[in-house]
Structure 1
């Protein structure tokens, strides 16, 4: 069959709204499809602290370092990952933050972080909540809000003021845990301690990454990072919008007219594909632990589309933008956008494919500035045994990549396996994770994942150059 597609000859108007952070880069012309270029953006980066290099005029503060004592007496967990920023009034914000801990992290114990309300007493991950004063730059309080989960990677804030925390593993009792894992959990932003942890099983048991929501419909869009045999792009259509625990339907994206389409290679930047959704009959399959791709295989058998290395995603301006970190002809990463057209159909467009690791090296975290500018945090060669670096970059409205930050703090080898980082030798740099702006766009919260600290970046966001 002939695939229903529409070609675009150049990356013109990526849908990233100008006039603010993104508007700082406008005016440099249009990048030809498949030929993106690296731009200076805000100018050369300089060391701004032990963790980050930033453009001149930018600065940052830190809080919530791994191991520091929280208000509830528990040591702050490490491995900071996805998070959301909620307005708490009077110049304060509430940050609900994931901690992506599993037993592969040296020093991790097979026990819950805290003593109360653990979903699984043998699982070492969860979420913390922090109250931060923007004016003084002070952490006012912090405590555990999700306990006894595993590999909490990313997630999303909901329109109704909660955080969806996603487990990126399907380990369970066969791996020595008390409960099955691979689920989404919901935490109200106003939680004052560990919530009653309820796995949202209808949203699927697979290696979850992110879960942004269309505020008009309440539909949740989810990415998967399993890798082999591939990854699906999913949506959860709730029975009652805003009440995810009431159940709903899990579906996987398919390209119309081309059964089992594979996006990993051979794609053209700007091309638009017509899509529809196929149902997942068993969102919580009994074989998920030994077969992490069980949900994916169901969708693939019905003609679902294959991606490779799906990671971060974000909802903005009627579309969800997401990355396939290991895909592309050079395996350096792709940026995709899905736009719903009707309840059952939509379009899929490749916005960007990295031509080489110097331009963009396996993007992971995705964040949207309030003006629609797209931020991409790498998880590329930073953790390589021969050393490397990871960057926070901007995909400009004209299709260019610009630098915004670089991680300069070496990884703490106490948190990594000696087999991964033999000594002596250079140390790589941790990835950045959990990028999230305040509503006014003045403060960017982002985590240096290992060993774990939260950074708050401020500066002349509107002063960049293309």
Structure 2
């Protein structure tokens, strides 16, 4: 069979799978095939106001003072940026459905060099920007502002490796974790550098040699945290302002990392684990690692903790907030799937996580739920549950990446589902923002905004050209949507 026929057969099989099965299939396929700042909501994980400092060198420790919890500021009357959004119109030439007034362009396609004004719809354009074609399977992403008014879009590459087999087959994780240490991963993190007018002026890589990098986080000090999703995966800190390599941050734990969110007020990090029996974590820095008043955490020493839901438990969270406690992780320097704490609470497939206004939101794909952790009250509740949602709000499935606007909209990207980005408004009604059609083997991820909020970026992890001037299933692409002035 020809390579083209092989790809067509794989694409047909992918379309027949749901989002969770599709991911497992891709991991197995890649291994057996031999693929051995103006506002806080504009950054990649709700990490607070951007601050100066483009270096990974930790800020010297200030004198240690006791941490006094500060209650989050109240924001009464939030109605949501997308509350008055109109219906989605017919697909444009890029396969994107959006409301009236939205304009779409493609800014990156796998195996092609980015172009200054985006990618031509009909066919690849010779030449381009950067010295490496755009990576395959672009996934989680974020944006950092540049000093000249431009910005940098940062994009993970979700390429499986040997370690990923331990995710698909947990009984093998002990062996695959060992082999992974001696086998360089094929994932990477790439960038698109924009000038203030939206022209792409550069593209380079800031991390290579890792495995299955899913989501991550733009830090308040303008670095990028990239998460490896396999049982012995780590978090890597990268400098988005220049080509180079990231630094592993082992203090953040060893597990199938999906995403990170940072509460800069309480100086805490929150992390999701994408496994059926995954946990929800927080990282508490040692006092000298992130002293009060310091610009950044060194991310070298702290305590990894897991959440335990009390009261009426997880099911009670469907109807009212439930109390939570935190337990120090057992053997935090070892794979956590082998060192579970029975008293901690399992969450079925942790995905995106975001800090906003004293609340940490996170998604679990196995049960299609969106959770909200109230930091001051130390409670958790479910704000969206597909199984109990009633029309017209039962339009969200395959929950994955999250992004929260400064008006309180929780934007949820779908892995499968209807290939939509859906906004959960502050009143908990739902609004579809965009939908990608003709790419049913793909998923949406990488939601981020330019610093002025006018341009929304997202990926189709497994979208690509169809050879006839349109787009279909492929190896990944990045969209930009220009929002109307009314938003």
Structure 2-normalised TM-score? 0.69
Q: Alignment partner of 2:93: what SS?
A: coil
Q: Alignment partner of 2:431: what SS?
A: strand
How far does residue 461 in structure 1 lie from its aligned partner after superposition?
7.0
Partner of 2:148: 90
Partner of 1:226: 275
How far does residue 16 in structure 1 lie from its aligned partner after superposition?
9.4
Partner of 2:98: 54
Partner of 1:335: 370
Distance 1:15 1:273 in 2: 22
Task: Identify if the C-alpha distance between structure 1 residues 142 and 200 changes in structure 2 by more than 3 Å, giving closer, same or farther.
Answer: same
Distance 1:17 1:455 in 2: 32
Q: Alignment partner of 2:299: what SS?
A: helix
Contact 2:416 2:442 in 1 (8 A): no
- After TM superposition, the structure 1 = structure 2 runs for residues 228-267 of structure 1, keeping only pairs within 5 Å, are 230-239=277-286, 240-241=289-290, 242-256=296-310, 261=313, 263=314, 266-267=315-316
Distance 1:169 1:405 in 2: 30
1:143 aligns with 2:204: yes
1:101 aligns with 2:113: no
Contact 1:202 1:250 in 2 (8 A): yes
* Runs (5+) with no aligned partner, structure 2: 1-73, 115-128, 165-180, 291-295, 463-474
Per-residue CA deviation, residues 16-37 of structure 1 (Å, 9 max, x unaligned), is 9635514x34xxxxxxxxxxxx
Partner of 2:112: 68
Task: Identify if the C-alpha distance between structure 1 residues 429 and 162 changes in structure 2 by more than 3 Å, giving closer, same or farther.
Answer: same
Distance 2:109 2:356 in 1: 31
Per-residue CA deviation, residues 202-234 of structure 1 (Å, 9 max, x unaligned), is 21110011111001132110001111xx11110
Partner of 1:36: none
- After TM superposition, the structure 1 = structure 2 runs for residues 20-419 of structure 1, keeping only pairs within 5 Å, are 21-22=81-82, 24-25=83-84, 41-69=85-113, 71-103=129-161, 122-135=184-197, 137-170=198-231, 181-190=232-241, 192-195=242-245, 197-227=246-276, 230-239=277-286, 240-241=289-290, 242-256=296-310, 261=313, 263=314, 266-267=315-316, 269-285=318-334, 288=335, 293-295=337-339, 297=340, 300-301=341-342, 303-327=343-367, 333-341=368-376, 346-355=378-387, 359-381=395-417, 389-410=418-439
Contact 2:253 2:332 in 1 (8 A): yes
Distance 2:480 2:77 in 1: 23
Of 430, 454, 457, the match for 1:445: 457
Distance 2:352 2:447 in 1: 10
How far does residue 429 in structure 1 lie from its aligned partner after superposition?
4.2
> If each structure's helix is expressed as a fraction of its own residues, which one has the higher value?
2
Task: Identify if the C-alpha distance between structure 1 residues 82 and 15 changes in structure 2 by more than 3 Å, giving closer, same or farther.
Answer: farther
Contact 2:250 2:300 in 1 (8 A): no
RMSD over aligned Cα atoms: 2.5
- After TM superposition, the structure 1 = structure 2 runs for residues 419-458 of structure 1, keeping only pairs within 5 Å, are 428-450=440-462, 451-458=475-482
How far does residue 188 in structure 1 lie from its aligned partner after superposition?
2.0
Distance 1:206 1:434 in 2: 21
Per-residue CA deviation, residues 64-104 of structure 1 (Å, 9 max, x unaligned), is 21111365522221101111101113331111211111149
Partner of 2:64: none
How far does residue 436 in structure 1 lie from its aligned partner after superposition?
1.2
Q: Alignment partner of 1:237: what SS?
A: strand
Contact 2:205 2:243 in 1 (8 A): yes
Distance 1:103 1:353 in 2: 32
Distance 1:439 1:277 in 2: 35
* Runs (5+) with no aligned partner, structure 1: 1-13, 26-40, 106-118, 171-180, 328-332, 382-388, 411-427
How far does residue 323 in structure 1 lie from its aligned partner after superposition?
1.0
Task: Identify if the C-alpha distance between structure 1 residues 352 and 435 changes in structure 2 by more than 3 Å, giving closer, same or farther.
Answer: same
Q: Alignment partner of 1:312: what SS?
A: strand
Task: Identify if the C-alpha distance between structure 1 residues 350 and 254 changes in structure 2 by more than 3 Å, giving closer, same or farther.
Answer: same
Distance 1:354 1:461 in 2: 33
Task: Identify if the C-alpha distance between structure 1 residues 100 and 461 changes in structure 2 by more than 3 Å, giving closer, same or farther.
Answer: farther
